[in-house]
Amino acid sequence: MKNKFVLAFFLILSFFLVQIYGRKKQTEALSHLSNAKFRGNSGIDMSHFKAVELVNSKSKIHYHPDDIGSKENDRIVRLPGQPNVRFSQYGGYVTVDKSAGRAFYYYFVEAQHSKDSLPLLLWLNGGPGCSSLAYGAMQELGPFRVHSDGKTLYKNRYSWNYAANVLFLESPAGVGFSYSNRTSDYDNNGDKKTAEDNYIFLVNWLKRFPEYKDRDFYISGESYAGHYVPQLAHTILYNNKKAKKTIINLKGILIGNAVINDETDNIGMYDYFAGHALVSNDAVNNIKKHCDFSPNATTQSATCISANNQIERDISHLDIYNIYAPLCFSPTTTAKPKIASLENFDPCSDYYVYAYLNTPEVQEAMHANVTKLKHDWEPCSDVISQWLDSSATVLPLLQEFMANGLRVWIYSGDTDGRVPFTSTIYSIDKLNLPIKTEWHPWYLKGEVGGYTQVYKGDLTFATVRGAGHEVPSFQPLRALSLIKHFVDGTPLPDTKRY
């Protein structure tokens, strides 16, 4: 009973912090779920993820021409405040459940060059409940960033559409502009439903954009997308097998600072804290002695909770998603745009994006919010009330992908403390994979870009030096190099001449 009161206290505290400091961010969303799972008695189903057959579901996979929608109607002529560009961009809705009136919003940017030959890349942000527009498109790897005035855009010369045609998806229902006419859907989200709806979205989107139907396809994402990406990939493989044909031409996955195995994710996080002098070794040793990190833990002792509370107080004044980054002390837009820098990420960017995407002219240009939602567009959803299922590990899915010849890359910004490189290394070690290429630095422009190790079975792990949780925000050039080598299927460069 005590643990339930402790959990309730932390949920209430998180709510008030959001009210004081502004829009809920990716940080709060992941901490909310992980705290609930770690402290026990959450009621969240943590069993292994299993795909369901969707390929023959005519009630969900739309097959009538009237249901497909028009690519040309989704074309974005120009975004307000946008600089001139030479690539095409699209935005709109794809229905994932006709009976419920559930539809997902997407934003798609074709490649800067060679759009007819470069692969299709889907980007998913995590949370759970956070928007791929808020982070991926507008603060990380999209073609534009938002000026501090919240009205104008500037070019991201390190956009990932230099390497692929990039599709950003807001999911599940209740995230960003994605919605359901059956509002009870917002109370029933979880890993399984998200994977199912994401798959249905993809099948229907490819009918609207048939030129990408047979294109090499990759799925990427960060943070809690460490669940979304593998679970969607597994669903694709499962339904390709059921259909006895290639419905979606999946070639690989790329996940960054990814939640993939609860037990090692937690232990690795505390070890990172101690290893970077954020907390004492005694505090971490106390956590390891008194806390149960196993997936079948149902409660935590009072001593464990107390030790964890002390650590949370020690790190509370840091941006734990980039332990060396400045904080935002001016959570408002400015009358005139500040001088923008791609290399020095502005910690107040969340507020600029919030202002921009809640502008009616922007929504009209993007073909968004067509149903006039009763809530604002938010970087992380405030209408999703609970998360029903969250598997304790996705490691078996990674093993499946390697067995099926898919490319698997996992990367870590090395200044992220929330899902740090230590967590990811501990998780990969659980797979017991033979090493193909030993740990070594990789280079970009004569400097160390990070470190990498390649495992037999086509799994590559790489760190990105000087990057936080949202790697392309903090090291955009190194992130672009990473994605180029991933889609090309080439190792990261191991000599300084790059």
Q: Mean of the pLDDT values across residues 51-80?
A: 78
- Catalytic pick among 180, 223, 381, 390: 223
**172 cis-preceded (ω within 30 degrees of 0):** yes
Tokens at residue 316, please? 């509370």
**The two structure tokens encoding residue 182:** 């059956």
- The structural domains of the chain, ordered by start, are 46-278+318-488 (3.40.50.1820)
Q: What is the Cα–Cα distance from 65 to 270, expressed in whole angstroms? A: 53
Please tell me which residue in 319, 416, 427, 481 is annotated as part of the active site: 416
Q: Decide: helix, strand or coil at residue 127.
A: coil
| Residue 21: predicted pLDDT | 35
Alpha carbon separation from 398 to 255, 268, 387, 433 (Å, rounded): 11, 19, 23, 11
Which residue in 74, 64, 62 sits closest to 102, CA to CA?
62
Q: For residue 168, is pLDDT > 80?
A: yes
Q: Would residue 416 show up in a list of annotated catalytic residues for this protein?
A: yes
Tell me what pLDDT residue 17 has: 35
User: Does the annotation count 223 as an active-site position?
Assistant: yes
Q: Are 224 and 127 in contact (CB under 8 A)?
A: yes
Report the DSSP beta bridge partners of residue 389.
Answer: 45
The rounded distance, in Å, linking the Cα atoms of 275 and 286 is 15
367 and 103 in contact (C-beta within 8 Å)?
A: no
pLDDT band at 33 (very low <50, low <70, confident <90, very high): confident
Confidence band of 43 (pLDDT split at 50, 70, 90) = confident
Residue 120 β-bridge partners: 165, 217
pLDDT at 464 over 70: yes
Q: What pLDDT is recorded for position 39? A: 65
Which is catalytic among the residues 469, 473, 481, 485? 469
Q: What six digits make up the tokens of 333?
A: 């837009």
Reported as type and span, the H/E element at residue 289 is helix 281-290
So what's the pLDDT on residue 143? 98
Between these two residues, 11 and 497, which has the higher pLDDT value? Answer: 497
CA 415 – CA 7 distance, rounded (Å) = 28
Measuring CA to CA, which residue among 148, 215, 180 is closest to residue 350? 148
Mean pLDDT value across residues 366-386: 94
DSSP code for 472: H
Task: Give the Å distances, CA to CA, from 438 to 249, 307, 400, 412, 457.
Answer: 31, 37, 23, 17, 14
